Amino acid sequence: MTIPRSARYLVIGAGVHGLSTAYHLGRRLREEGQGSGADVVVLEKKRVGAGASGIACGVVRNFYYQPAMNEIMRISVGVWEEHPDVLGYHPVGYIAAVPGTQAGDLVSIADCHAKIGYNSEIVTGQKDCDRHMTAILPDFQSEDVEAVLHEKQGGWAERDKTVAGLAQLARGEGVSVLEGVEVTGFDIQGGRVRGVETSGGHIGAEMVIVAPGPWAAGFWQMLGLPMTVDVQTPDGAARRPMFTYMKLQEGEVQTNVDYATAGGGEPPVIHVDHNVPLVSDMTGEVITTEPWGIYFKRDAGGVQGGAVPINLGTQVNLEPYGHENPEHVVDESFADYFTAGLARTLDRFKGRSHSYKQRPNGGIGAFTPDNFPVFDFMLPNLYFVADSNHGFKMLGVGKEVANLLTGGTSAALKPFPFSRYADGALHPTSHSPYPWN
């Protein structure tokens, strides 16, 4: 592998954002007659998909209460739909079924979907929700469900295929994706980045794109950016850490028969939230009386899904990243929670808690002060993609960044500047128990 001494566009990180940006940069440079993928180099310290993108559940949805997130996801789903096979995309749709406390939120989301041309259907009232859900999954338990948002777009993707597919698309445009090259510092002169220091020496760059996933805090620090920020809220300013880590809790249940719809097809991804107590399928004891929720999709031989994440604070050991790190994976209590949620949602999972697959699962993500992404120039020629762990689904971010960096504009990225914390231009928040809705 030859490491170039300079590049027009240097992308750091070969996760979904780095790879999508690199692919779209190469494509746009070619289409606009401004160059080609040969002008783009991706630097990855380990291998393609070594970060969060390689362990994501792979859910692709537009279940967001924030109009700005709806728009990013509309564009992103367009990218998934353009390359379904190469990205391992299953366009089965996504259903959120929620109690009365969140019904208004779902109606607002559906209104926004209708405005931007994203295909979804809203159902309200317990009886109609029951009719809608049992037509798809006859054993669905709809007690306490007052609203259903059924996205006819979205679904999920096979994460390994996705990252390999994105790398293939980027390389197909002539992009160099260099694995095993670690970025250790920035060469900044006169307020502009001139290049990066790497394990393979100095590489000059005209434009740098940082797409670091959970390693965002390290890069933020390398750039000398503030590790705490004052966030202007309606209640006054609140000092918050720039990055907080959360553990995403995920797991799998094996079934002897295919998890399928009444018609024998692949079910949409299902997300349920409830205010009723969650009762263990293992012991019959109440696990929690607090609001709870799970999401799940078909997986090879069963279902895979997750639940509300756990806040780990600002200090974690990121290395080794992923399933080989015991501090990153779910503990035993998750099996009880997840199988209880499944049993409460679909009758077919009652008494199946023993089918939980015991293996390391889940992982860590880095979240921003308001849990929404920061997509912004942190230097005039350095663009930072801090996705606040929303990102596997967000392939459109790379497309928009590529537009922006090749002389175009991006209205979709505009609502995600770093300055929104100081300005108080925050995104609205929903009644969901998840920090990312």
Ligand X SMILES: Cc1cc2nc3c(=O)[nH]c(=O)nc-3n(C[C@H](O)[C@H](O)[C@H](O)COP(=O)(O)OP(=O)(O)OC[C@H]3O[C@@H](n4cnc5c(N)ncnc54)[C@H](O)[C@@H]3O)c2cc1C
Residues near ligand X, by CB under 6 A: 12-18, 43-46, 50-53, 55-59, 182-183, 211-215, 248, 250, 362-365, 385, 387, 389-393
CB of 39 to ligand X, least distance (A): 19
CB of 151 to ligand X, least distance (A): 14
CB 229 within 8 A of CB 240: yes
CA distance 310 to 5: 42
CB of 50 to ligand X, least distance (A): 4
Nearer to ligand X, 343 or 364 (CB): 364
Q: Rounding to the nearest 10 degrees, give the CA dihedral for residues 50, 372, 294, 133.
A: -120
Closest CA to 255 of 284, 308, 296: 296
Own/partner pairs, 121-125, CB within 8 angstroms, 24+ separation: 121/149, 121/150, 121/152, 122/147, 122/148, 122/149, 122/150, 123/147, 123/148, 123/149, 123/150, 124/148
CB of 427 to ligand X, least distance (A): 17
What lies within 8 Å, CB to CB, of 96 at 6+ separation is 61, 63, 106, 148, 149, 271, 272, 273
CA distance 122 to 98: 12
Residue 221, number of CB atoms within 10 A of its CB: 13
Nearer to ligand X, 97 or 248 (CB): 248
The answer for 424, left when phi > 0, alpha when psi is -120 to 50, beta otherwise, is left
CB of 324 to ligand X, least distance (A): 14
Nearer to ligand X, 104 or 417 (CB): 417
Residue with tokens 């939120």: 105
The tokens for 101 are 């406390």
Nearer to ligand X, 109 or 248 (CB): 248
Nearer to ligand X, 215 or 416 (CB): 215
CB of 249 to ligand X, least distance (A): 8
238 backbone dihedrals φ, ψ, rounded to 5°: -130, 125
CB of 56 to ligand X, least distance (A): 3
CA neighbours within 13 Å on the CB side: how many for 12?
29
Nearer to ligand X, 231 or 397 (CB): 397
Nearer to ligand X, 129 or 334 (CB): 334
CB 369 within 8 A of CB 375: no
Nearer to ligand X, 123 or 375 (CB): 375
Q: Omega into 380 within 30° of 0, i.e. cis? A: no
Nearer to ligand X, 15 or 291 (CB): 15
Closest CA to 104 of 157, 160, 149, 165: 149
> In whole angstroms, how large is the CA radius of gyration of the chain?
22
CB of 275 to ligand X, least distance (A): 24
Closest CA to 19 of 322, 392, 403, 318: 392
CB of 22 to ligand X, least distance (A): 11
Nearer to ligand X, 71 or 146 (CB): 71
Closest CA to 170 of 32, 17, 393, 53: 17
CB of 401 to ligand X, least distance (A): 12
